[in-house]
């Protein structure tokens, strides 16, 4: 790409957005290079990047170009194409949603758009419910405020396949960002009926599906538990509170500072429940109100993190793996207890998610399907079950990054159902005098103590991508051990192992049932290392984990 030529083209043509033009005029050579050295990558996750001017940024022009390419793809593959559009609380999410809607409308594609900001799972749900050809969610999930994104779903409500993403990318790459993109006025298309707002009936249908995932099957539990909830200035407030209140949970206190949508995320720069800092204010509320349970969903409400009291009366954050294992065990035990386990039951998890999940699943008679990282692969497997008329066989799916789904009504992780099921599970055990930490200890005693951790390393800028690729090659050069743990086997998913799609992921199987996974993030400039350790007790696992991590970090320099 001729960076200077591209920049000059934008100076002449990017006149529809004053913010973009102002930024272009103040760029130095370094900023120009970073903003224009490539086109923002379009893949199975759609687009995700920093908001701003340039081809390597999220802005009205890159959003419009992607929408035009997607429009061309839809018109080739559907006789009467239609789309569902949703957006979160991020900076300019509503603007980008309207830009996308206007491009689709002028291309004679019927648009159904949520009238207010909504969580990710409602887009997946509405795409299926309204029989749309595709769904678009404007979000950057849990990323910092400078990011936004454009997430694409297929007609099945699942994130698009690699094949579909490649076909859409082909269409996008044919386009000149200024000359070949059709535009129109959003309000005029609403008036004409080309763009329609999704009715409240669809929202209600979504909430009803969430409520149907209960596994109490008539059992009575104490629902007067004290809950602290934070939507982290995102989309979760209304659907989470509505679901909980309609199912009997009324003792709920919302973290005021994080209650209202705000894309600047003023109290938590990294609005991700995986990060302790994002949970800090919620923890303060929990202590102040002597809460039983703290819940926090990320801005697009597809992830949920929790904290509960330990025996010392102090609040303890649970990892995504721990919560997922607890939910899996609870759901399975309840289904077995009430005779509600389906024929050929299935649990689906990613390859970086706790291996104990497979042990728990096996105990209850469930078949485990392991997939690549990303909930889209879990959704894809649910779709395959549906094609075999076995959708009811799906019992539970989860990933270590705080994503959970029970039920096949959507094809993405759902922070609404996650919050609901966590509250139900907490209430069930509390009624029996058991804490979630007690239950977790019981699982460890049964299946062995394990520790699963995630470490992220950022490699930003134009050189960051090349650096990550170089590091991945270093990890492929015959490493024999990590710390004191010898490498038993290396699984390189770049060649497409176990009928999985090819992916730049390495999994080292270590002695003593330990493992380490290395992969570049598909959504942000980070290299991620997942470490799993099994040992006799917590102290030993922590020592081994630290040793493995320090050894792995040597290869990042």
Given a contact cutoff of 8 angstroms between Cβ atoms, the answer to whether 418 and 485 are in contact is no
The rounded distance, in Å, linking the Cα atoms of 507 and 510 is 9
The Cα 542–Cα 237 span in angstroms is 36
> How many CB atoms within 10 Å of residue 325?
26
| Number of residues that this document lists for the chain | 557
- Active-site annotation, residues: 141
Report CA 535 to chain centroid distance, whole Å: 30
Residue 495 gets which letter from DSSP? G
C-alpha dihedral (226, 232, 236, 240), degrees to nearest 10: -10
- CA-based nearest residue to 388, from 371, 408, 360, 361: 408
Q: Exposed, middle or buried: residue 489 (CB in 10 Å: 0-12, 13-18, 19+)?
A: exposed
The closest alpha carbon to 317, from 352, 282, 360, belongs to: 282
For 287, the token pair is 């202590």
**CB-CB contact of 505 with 493 (8 Å):** yes
Q: Which two three-digit tokens encode residue 364? A: 């209850």
Lateral strand order in the sheet of 367-371: 367-371, 346-350, 394-399, 403-405
Helix pair angle (415-431, 200-211), 10° resolution: 30
Closest CA to 416 of 257, 307, 297: 297
**Do residues 101 and 195 lie in contact, with contact meaning Cβ atoms separated by under 8 Å?**
yes
């Amino acid at each position: 790409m001729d960076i200077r030529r591209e920049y000059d083209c934008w100076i002449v043509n990017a006149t529809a957005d004053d913010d973009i033009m102002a930024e272009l005029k103040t760029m130095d050579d370094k900023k120009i290079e970073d903003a224009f050295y490539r086109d923002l990558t379009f893949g199975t996750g759609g687009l995700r990047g920093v908001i701003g001017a340039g081809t390597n940024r999220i802005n009205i022009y890159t959003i419009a170009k992607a929408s035009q390419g997607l429009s061309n793809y839809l018109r080739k593959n559907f006789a009467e194409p239609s789309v569902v559009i949703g957006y979160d609380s991020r900076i300019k999410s509503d603007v980008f949603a309207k830009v996308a809607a206007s491009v689709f409308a002028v291309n004679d594609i019927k648009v159904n758009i949520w009238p207010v900001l909504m969580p990710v799972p409602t887009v997946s749900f509405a795409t299926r419910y309204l029989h749309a050809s595709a769904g678009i969610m404007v979000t950057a999930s849990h990323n910092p405020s400078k990011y936004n994104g454009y997430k694409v779903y297929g007609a099945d409500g699942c994130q698009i396949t690699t094949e579909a993403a490649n076909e859409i990318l082909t269409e996008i790459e044919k386009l000149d960002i200024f000359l070949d993109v059709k535009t129109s006025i959003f309000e005029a298309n609403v008036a004409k009926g080309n763009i329609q707002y999704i009715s409240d009936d669809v929202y209600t249908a979504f909430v009803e599906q969430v409520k149907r995932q209960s596994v109490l099957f008539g059992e009575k539990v104490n629902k007067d538990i004290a809950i602290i909830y934070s939507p982290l200035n995102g989309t979760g407030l209304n659907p989470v509170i509505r679901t909980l209140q309609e199912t009997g949970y009324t003792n709920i206190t919302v973290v005021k500072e994080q209650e209202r949508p705000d894309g600047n995320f003023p109290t938590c720069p990294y609005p991700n429940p995986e990060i302790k800092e994002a949970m800090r204010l919620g923890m303060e509320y929990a202590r102040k109100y002597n809460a039983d349970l703290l819940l926090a969903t990320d801005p697009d409400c597809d992830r949920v993190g929790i904290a509960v009291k330990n025996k010392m009366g102090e609040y303890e954050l649970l990892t995504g793996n721990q919560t997922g294992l607890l939910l899996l065990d609870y759901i399975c035990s309840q289904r077995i207890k009430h005779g509600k386990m389906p024929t050929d039951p299935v649990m689906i998890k990613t390859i970086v998610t706790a291996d104990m999940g497979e042990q728990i699943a096996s105990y209850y008679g469930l078949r485990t399907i392991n997939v690549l990282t990303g909930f889209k692969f879990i959704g894809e497997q649910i779709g395959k079950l549906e094609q075999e008329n076995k959708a009811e066989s799906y019992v539970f799916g989860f990933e270590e990054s705080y994503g959970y789904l029970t039920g096949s009504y959507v094809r993405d992780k759902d922070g609404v159902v996650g919050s609901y099921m966590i509250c139900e599970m907490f209430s069930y055990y509390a009624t029996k005098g058991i804490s979630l930490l007690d239950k977790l200890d019981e699982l460890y005693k049964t299946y062995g103590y394990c520790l699963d951790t995630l470490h992220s390393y950022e490699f930003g800028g134009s050189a960051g991508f090349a650096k990550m690729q170089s590091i991945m090659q270093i990890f492929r050069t015959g490493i024999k051990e990590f710390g004191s743990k010898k490498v038993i086997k290396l699984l390189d998913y770049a060649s497409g192992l176990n009928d999985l799609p090819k992916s730049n992921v390495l999994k080292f199987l270590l002695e003593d049932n330990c493992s380490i996974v290395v992969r570049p993030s598909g959504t942000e400039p980070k290299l991620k290392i997942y470490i799993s350790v099994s040992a006799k007790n917590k102290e030993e696992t922590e020592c081994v984990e630290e040793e493995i991590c320090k050894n792995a970090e040597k290869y990042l320099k």
